[in-house]
């Protein structure tokens, strides 16, 4: 009995000693690592606000004040949008132009007191939102991050389950036309129009059209197969998705590299609405970035 008591007593001492050692080394390790934790805390992610738009220049029509984006009414509305985005305090503006055109962008941006509406596509979001916002906060320039590829939503010629995709495309087009028609009638301001384009349900609708529904389509072909290399006709829908996904991956690559060059920490990206869903997905998986909804500021 005495021996048993000694064994139990010895075991308790071991447990206490081991617990103390674990506690001591845990505290010691925390104190040693504290400077490193502090450095990590300071290394905050890059914030990127993604604004989905349409290309206003494609809808320019001088027959009415609502469809003429050079009109005083629409110009004031563009100003309202830039004032809302300015509250984000961006230190860089990225736009849907290719980096190879950066010198041309710079030369236009540096023109003082120039009326950009006199240019052929002068009412596009590049000038009316991008340039206007950048100049209002005295940025050096705006940066092109696009990678252009001429691919159409109406790319399929035939295929099994093609009707599923066509139904999705029709729903998307009907929704888009309804929103745009109302806007061009003057029932919405530019800010209200952009808010609607950037609603989560509308971003999901366009994302599903390009990156989900096409996967149903098999055993088909594109209208211009000869323009594409090594198309797998069995998985023609997956081929379709890959074309659009590849373009956005290259846009993402441009975003990453231009951010590293500029050291920007708060970026506004102005890009066609159909890109928003996939770029949010790709960028959102990068722990060095934080995606911000445009409506957070447009709705203020």
- Would you say residue 7 has pLDDT above 90? no
Mean pLDDT of the chain: 89
Q: Residue 106's pLDDT is what?
A: 98
Q: Residue 22's pLDDT is what?
A: 54
Sort residue 148 into left (φ over 0), alpha (ψ -120 to 50) or beta: beta
**Phi and psi angles of residue 83, each rounded to the nearest 5 degrees, phi first:** -65, -40
- Would you say residue 18 has pLDDT above 50? no
Q: What is the pLDDT of residues 227-241, one digit of tens each?
A: 787 899 999 999 999
- pLDDT-above-90 percentage for the chain: 80
Q: What is the pLDDT of residues 187-207, one digit of tens each?
A: 999 999 999 999 999 999 999
Give the 3-state secondary structure of residue 49: strand
pLDDT range class, residue 226, cuts 50, 70, 90? confident
Tell me the angle at which helices 190-197 and 162-184 cross, rounded to the nearest 10 degrees. Answer: 160
- pLDDT-above-70 percentage for the chain: 86
């Amino acid at each position: 009995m005495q021996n048993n008591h000694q064994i139990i007593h010895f075991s308790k001492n071991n447990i206490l000693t081991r617990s103390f050692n674990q506690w001591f080394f845990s505290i010691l390790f925390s104190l040693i690592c504290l400077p490193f934790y502090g450095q990590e805390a300071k290394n905050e992610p890059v914030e990127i606000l993604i604004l989905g738009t349409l290309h206003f220049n494609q809808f320019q029509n001088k027959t009415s004040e609502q469809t003429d984006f050079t009109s005083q009414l629409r110009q004031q509305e563009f100003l309202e949008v830039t004032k809302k985005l300015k509250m984000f305090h961006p230190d860089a503006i990225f736009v849907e132009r290719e980096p190879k055109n950066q010198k041309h962008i710079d030369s236009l941006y540096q023109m003082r007191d120039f009326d950009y509406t006199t240019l052929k596509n002068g009412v596009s979001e590049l000038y009316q939102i991008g340039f206007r916002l950048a100049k209002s906060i005295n940025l050096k320039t705006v940066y092109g991050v696009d990678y252009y590829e001429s691919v159409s939503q109406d790319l399929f010629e035939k295929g099994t389950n093609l009707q599923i995709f066509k139904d999705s495309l029709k729903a998307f087009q009907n929704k888009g036309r309804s929103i745009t028609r109302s806007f061009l009638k003057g029932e919405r301001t530019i800010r209200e129009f952009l808010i609607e384009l950037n609603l989560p349900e509308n971003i999901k609708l366009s994302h599903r059209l390009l990156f989900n529904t096409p996967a149903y389509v098999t055993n088909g072909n594109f209208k211009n197969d000869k323009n594409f290399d090594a198309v797998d006709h069995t998985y023609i829908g997956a081929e379709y998705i890959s074309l659009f996904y590849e373009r956005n991956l290259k846009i993402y690559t441009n975003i990453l590299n231009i951010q590293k060059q500029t050291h920007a920490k708060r970026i506004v990206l102005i890009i066609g609405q159909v890109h928003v869903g996939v770029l949010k997905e790709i960028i959102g998986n990068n722990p060095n970035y934080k995606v911000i909804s445009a409506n957070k500021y447009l709705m203020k």
